[in-house]
Amino acid sequence: MSSAGVSTLSPVSRETFDYERKYDAGKEDARREYEAIEQIMSRKALDRGLLLEPVIVNPKVELSSEVWDMIDTTYDGLDNGNSPIRSSEGTGGAYFMLDSTGQKYVSVFKPIDEEPMAMNNPRGLPLSLDGEGLKKGTRVGQGAFREVAAYILDHPMGGRRSLFGDDKGFAGVPPTVMAKCLHEGFNHPEGLTAKFGSLQMFMENNGSCEDMGPGAFPVKEVHKITVLDMRLANADRHAGNILIGREKENDQAVLIPIDHGYCLPTSFEDCTFEWLYWPQARQPYSPEVIDYIKSLDAEEDIALLKFHGWDLPLECARTLRISTMLLKKGVEKGMTPFAIGSLMCRESLNKESVIEGIVKAALDSVLPCTSEATFMDAVSEIMDQHLDEITGNYNS
Same domain, 213 and 195: no
- In the chain, the number of structural domains is 2
Q: Please tell me whether residues 146 and 244 are part of one structural domain.
A: no
**Backbone φ/ψ region at 172: left (φ over 0), alpha (ψ -120 to 50), beta:** left
At residue 394, the pLDDT reads 46
Judgement on whether residues 125 and 240 belong to the same structural domain of the protein: no
Both 194 and 262 in one domain: the answer is no
Any idea which of 34-48, 160-174, 283-297, 334-348 has the lowest mean pLDDT? 34-48
Q: What is the pLDDT of residue 50?
A: 58
Domain finish residue from 132, 166, 201: 201
pTM of the complete model = 0.87
d(CA 302, CA 311): 8
> Are 242 and 303 within one domain?
yes
- Examine the domain organization and report whether 159 and 228 are in the same domain: no
Tell whether 369 is covered by a domain.
Answer: yes
The pLDDT-based confidence of 232 (bands split at 50, 70, 90) is: very high
Residue 278 in any domain: the answer is: yes
Q: Are residues 271 and 190 in the same domain?
A: no
Q: Are residues 242 and 179 in the same domain?
A: no
Range of the domain at 131: 4-201
Q: Long-range contacts for 383-390 (Cβ within 8 Å, ≥24 apart)?
A: 383/325, 383/326, 383/329, 383/358, 384/329, 386/343, 386/354, 386/358, 387/329, 387/330, 387/333, 387/335, 390/335, 390/339, 390/343
Q: Do residues 223 and 195 share a domain?
A: no
Long-range contacts of 209-213 (CB under 8 A, 24+ apart): 209/239, 209/240, 209/242, 209/243, 209/244, 209/255, 210/238, 210/239, 210/240, 211/244, 212/244
**Do 57 and 97 belong together in one domain?**
yes
Tell me which of 149, 182, 201 is where a domain ends. Answer: 201
Phi-psi region of 296 (alpha: psi -120 to 50; beta: other; left: phi over 0): beta
* Domain match, 225 and 137 both: no
Determine, yes or no, domain membership for 133. Answer: yes
